[in-house]
Structures are given as C-alpha cells and as structure tokens.
Structure 1
Amino acid sequence: MELRQLRYFVAIVDHGSLSRAALVLHVAQPALTQQLRQLEEELGAQLLHRSAQGVVSTDAGKVFYDHAQAILKQVADARSAVTHSARPSGSVTMGLPHSISGALALPLLTAAREQYPDITLQLTEELTGNLAEQLKSGRVNLAVLFDDGQLTPFATTPLAEEELRFICRHDAIWFSDRNTVSLQQALNTTLILPGLQHGVRPRIEAMARAAGLVIGNVIEINSIAILKSAIMAGMGATILPVAPVLPEIEHGQMRSVRINSPAISRTVVLCASRNIPLTNAANAIAALTQQVAADLCRAGTWPGARLLST
C-alpha cells in the first residue's frame, strides 16, 4: 500500500468521480483506475460502487476513507513539524463539542489569527463521542472534551469547571416561581438530552447514580439546534450549560434555573493523543486555547464557567 494510493482514493471519494479526481490529481484516468484496483486487491474488499453517475463508497470504503484521511493528515503533520520547526505554521484541526463552540470558537479563532497568522486553524463541531474517536485516529490534533473518567487514552489539560442548569421555555410551568430546583425535581421532568455517550449525558447519569436518583422520561436528541427547537415546542426541558442557549435566554425565550441538592457541573478539558506527537503549530494552539479559556473565565464572558488551575 502506497501513500499515493491513499491520496488517489480520498480524492475519488471527495470528488465523487474518477474523471474529476484524475483532473484534480493530474493523473491519467486509466492509471488512477489501476491504482484503485490494486488497492482493492490488496485489501481484499471493494471500496467503491461505480456507475454512470459516478462513484460512492461501499461500507468497507467508508471505513477505509476515515483511516486514509487520518494517515494522510499525520504525514502532512510530520512534514510540517520538520520543515517549520522554528516558527509555528501549518494546519491544526481542533474538535469542539456543540455545547462549547458558542463560548470558545470565535474567541479562539480571533486569537489564533492575531497571534499565529501562519497557522491555519480548522475547527470542527461534533458530538463528544465522535470527537474522542477522531482524536484517537489522528483525524483531529486536539479536542475539547469533558472529564467523565474515560479520558485515560489522552493527554489532558483542565480548562474550566462549567455549571449545568435546568433550562426550559420561558413560560414553562415547571417551577415557574422558583430560582432553584433540586436535582431530583429536575430529573423528574421530561428531559431532552443527548444520547448516553455524548455531551452532558454521562455527567448527569453519574450525578444521578451518586445521589441515588433515577432519570425519568428522556427524549434523546443529539443536536443542540434541534434540542432547542424541541424545548421551544414545549416538549420538555433540559440540563445544559448556559452558553449554548444564552441568545434564547437574553431574548426572553428560555430561562435557566440553578440546580442544587446537589449542584451539578462538568470539567472541561483540552485533550491530545498520547501516541501521536503534536506539531509546533498544534502545541502553540494548545497553549493559546488555555490562555483564551482563562481570559473568558476571568472576564465572565463564558457564562457559568470557573477557571481551573493547571
């Protein structure tokens, strides 16, 4: 298996056509077809379905595509680490959970452009479970995750402790005359939450078990945008940090209520792979992320977040 075969395969999938990929790669189409055939023979699996309309990945092809992308990215990172060893430059990919990106993404992008103009910072917004897998495979260099006790495969740096609150529509009948609710009261409502492996859900489940409580009726939605729409439709409430729903709270569409007995929070951490070395550029972005998170906490512009010492 050769790197060029990986590049050819990724280009074919990205462009959806052998002919278009051949044009972009400046490779004759028969040569491209031959390299693809050799790759499939070596793997013992068909990677693409071919038709007059183009090509689409088989199930095996989808799995291989993810690995091929990760390998090509690590090769590019290795090249960048050697050729740009003096001054941080190159491309860095960072993964952010949906519920964090609203607070951290824009300040981090702004700071990166100002302090490291030679670094191309690519931010990807994903579910936390997906980000962990992408970090393991090397498809992202860094990821912001939550300390749920399952982060041992990663090198971690704590960024902040983020309070979780009971979030509901502004006119919801739940505890309308209360400024706080107990965790048990919150859990007894119809809650709209991510799936078990994502976002705030593991933390809520752990806190419930520790308090000897049981979560009642749950509607699972793995999208912040759809989750907010469900709250506005009156389907239920949620337990989230304030940041992702701050616009709705400021416009009077939703409200947040503190949870006590016990209070609930999550630890936000910056993660990197223990097995894949970071480039100078990635190390620079990691340090910058810590700085930006600290500045946001001190300024109070990351709602509900408290700075953690490293």
Structure 2
Amino acid sequence: MELRQLRYFVAIVDHGSLSRAARVLHVAQPALTQQLRQLEDELGAQLLHRSAQGVLTNDAGKIFYEHAQAILKQLGDARSAVIQSSARPGGAVALGIPQSVSGALALPLLTAVRAQYPDINLQLSEELSGNLIEQLKSGRINLAVLFDDDQLTPFTTTPLVEEQLMFITRSDSRFASKAASITLADALRVPLILPSLPHGVRPRIEKRVQASGLAIGQVIEINSIAILKSAILADLGATILPAAPVLAEIEHGSMRAQAITEPGITREVALCASKSIPLTTAAAAVERLVLEVTQDLCGSGRWLGARDLTQGI
C-alpha cells in the first residue's frame, strides 16, 4: 500500500467522482482507476459504490476513509513539525469544539489566532462530543474541547472552565419566572427541550436530578442546537443548558437565562490532546492560546456562567 493510494482514495471520496478527483490531482483518470483497483485488491474489499452520478463509500470504504484521513493528517503534522519555526509557527491545526461551547469560544479564538499566528490555518469543526473523542483518538484532529465526564483518560487534559447550567427560555416566555433564579424542582415542572441521551448535557442533568430525588417530566428531545433554539423561541418549552450556545440570543434580548438552585448543576470543560501523538509547534501554540482566550472571556464576563479553571496552569 502506497501513500499516494491513500491520497487518491481520499480525494475520490471528497469529490464524489473519479473524474473530478483526477482533475484536482492532475492524474489521468485511467491511472486513478487502476490505483483504486490495486488498493481494493490489496485490502480484499470493495470500497466504493460506483454509479452514473459518481461514487459513494460503502461500509468498508467509510472505515478505510477515516483511517486514511488520520494517516495523511499525521504525516502532514510530522512534516510541519520538522520544518516550522517555533518563533513563527505555521501550518494546519484541527480543533474540535462541541456545539454547546462554540458559541462562547470559537469566534474569539479564531480572531486571536489570526492576530497572533497569521501563518496558522486553524480548522475548527463543530461536532457532538462523542464524535470528537473518536476523531482525537484516531489523530484526525490535533485538539478537542471536551466535557470531563470521567471518560478522558486516553488524553492529556487541561481544565478550562466550570460551566453553570442555566434555565433558558424565550425572554417573554410563559414558562419563565420573574426571579433571577429558579429551583431545580420548579424547572422540572416546565416542559423541557433537551438533547437525547447520551448526548450533550443530558447525562449530567439526569444524574443530578436522580441524586436530588426528583424526576424529569415532559421532554422534547432535540440534538441540534439550531432546532433547539427555534423551539425555545417558539415557546414550546424551556431548556437546561450552559449559556454559551445562546449567548447571542441573550445579548439581543430574545432569550433569558436564569440560575438554577437547590441544587445547581455544573459541568467541567477541558482541552484535550492525544497522549500518543505529539503536538506540532503550531498545535502547541493554539493550545496555549485557548487558555489565554478562556482567561480573557471569563475575566470579562463574556463567557456567561463560566468559572475559569486555567489559573496557575
């Protein structure tokens, strides 16, 4: 198996067509087809479904595509680690951020990277935390912001913030109380819009509810932050989330966040890297910058409901 075969296969999948991949790679299509056939013969499995409309990966192809991406990513990182300067780091850095954190961290981090490290190409991916864990294990991303739920032992972890989960409604919602805070028991009496198990904050909420001897009633389960926001703005119910995903709506006055008490619910957010794959100079620079941006966001109050855990690191 040759590295060019991996590059060719990834290009074919990315472009959905042998002809388009051949044009991008500047390779004759018959030669590209021959390399693909040799790869499939060596693996003893067909990787693609071919049709008049293009190509799609089958189950074996999807698995091989993920591994090929990881191998090519690590090869590129190894090359960058040798040639890049520590004084002016550059190259691609892939960072994964969960949907419920990106609203607070993504734009300030992008802005800071552009200002301090113009030669770094920061590639942000917004995913469910479970997907990010698999991508970080395989080396497809360099860093990931993850929730510390006692499943981060495969990674080196740096605590970022402790986030307070809040009771969030439309600003003029019939479900909102006039007080600045709401008890957990009262919050659970409202129709709730939450991610389904085991996604996002739902396991943390369920654990705290059970420990308090309470029960969750009516729930609308939505795993998309965008759809969840629409449901809140339609006043179908309230949600229990960190404030980060709805910061823009809170600032614009269309949503309201109330602290939850008796008891409160929090989660810890950490920056994670692989224990087995070294960080490039550029990735290490981004790692440091994530801490600096986090400190600034918490110190200024722009990361609403978050307590800085980076001090002293």
TM-score normalised over the length of structure 2: 0.94
2:76 alignment partner, SS class: helix
What's 2:175 paired with?
174
How far residue 232 of structure 1 moved from its aligned partner, in angstroms, is 1.6
Whichever residue aligns with residue 24 of structure 2, its letter is V
1:291 alignment partner, SS class: helix
Task: Kindly report which structure 2 residues correspond to 1:180-259, keeping only aligned pairs within 5 A, or say none.
Answer: 180-259=181-260
1:159 alignment partner, SS class: strand
What's 2:128 paired with?
127
Contact 2:169 2:176 in 1 (8 A): no
> In 2, distance between residues paired with 1:218 and 1:2?
51
What's 1:60 paired with?
60
What's 2:270 paired with?
269
What's 2:9 paired with?
9
> In 2, distance between residues paired with 1:113 and 1:164?
31
2:151 alignment partner, SS class: coil
How far residue 292 of structure 1 moved from its aligned partner, in angstroms, is 0.7
How far residue 62 of structure 1 moved from its aligned partner, in angstroms, is 1.8
How far residue 247 of structure 1 moved from its aligned partner, in angstroms, is 2.7
Instruction: Give CA-to-partner distance per residue, 1:62-87, whole Å, 9 cap, x none.
Output: 22212211111011001111111544
Q: How many percent identity over aligned positions?
A: 70
> In 2, distance between residues paired with 1:212 and 1:152?
30
Task: Kindly report which structure 2 residues correspond to 1:44-193, keeping only aligned pairs within 5 A, or say none.
Answer: 44-87=44-87, 88-193=89-194
Deviates more, 1:251-260 or 1:261-270: 251-260
What's 1:35 paired with?
35
Whichever residue aligns with residue 267 of structure 1, its letter is E
In structure 2, stretches of 5+ residues that fail to align are: none
> In 2, distance between residues paired with 1:20 and 1:247?
40
Instruction: Give CA-to-partner distance per residue, 1:264-289, whole Å, 9 cap, x none.
Output: 11111101111211111111100110
Whichever residue aligns with residue 303 of structure 1, its letter is L
Contact 2:94 2:122 in 1 (8 A): yes
> In 1, distance between residues paired with 2:140 and 2:11?
16
Whichever residue aligns with residue 245 of structure 1, its letter is V
> In 1, distance between residues paired with 2:33 and 2:73?
23
How far residue 175 of structure 1 moved from its aligned partner, in angstroms, is 4.8
How far residue 3 of structure 1 moved from its aligned partner, in angstroms, is 1.1
> In 2, distance between residues paired with 1:44 and 1:209?
50
Contact 2:104 2:247 in 1 (8 A): no
Whichever residue aligns with residue 8 of structure 1, its letter is Y
Contact 1:148 1:202 in 2 (8 A): no
Structure 1 residues 4 and 233, CA gap change in structure 2 (3 angstroms): same
> In 2, distance between residues paired with 1:178 and 1:100?
26
Instruction: Give CA-to-partner distance per residue, 1:173-215, whole Å, 9 cap, x none.
Output: 3353333221122233222112323222222122223323332
1:95 alignment partner, SS class: strand
Deviates more, 1:52-61 or 1:120-129: 52-61
> In 1, distance between residues paired with 2:135 and 2:242?
24
1:184 alignment partner, SS class: helix
1:212 alignment partner, SS class: coil
TM-score normalised over the length of structure 1: 0.95
1:168 alignment partner, SS class: strand
Total equivalences in the alignment: 310
> In 1, distance between residues paired with 2:35 and 2:214?
58
> In 1, distance between residues paired with 2:180 and 2:298?
23
Deviates more, 1:88-97 or 1:16-25: 16-25
Please give the root-mean-square deviation of Cα atoms over the aligned residues, in Å. 1.6
Whichever residue aligns with residue 44 of structure 1, its letter is G
- Residues 1:307 and 2:303 aligned together: no
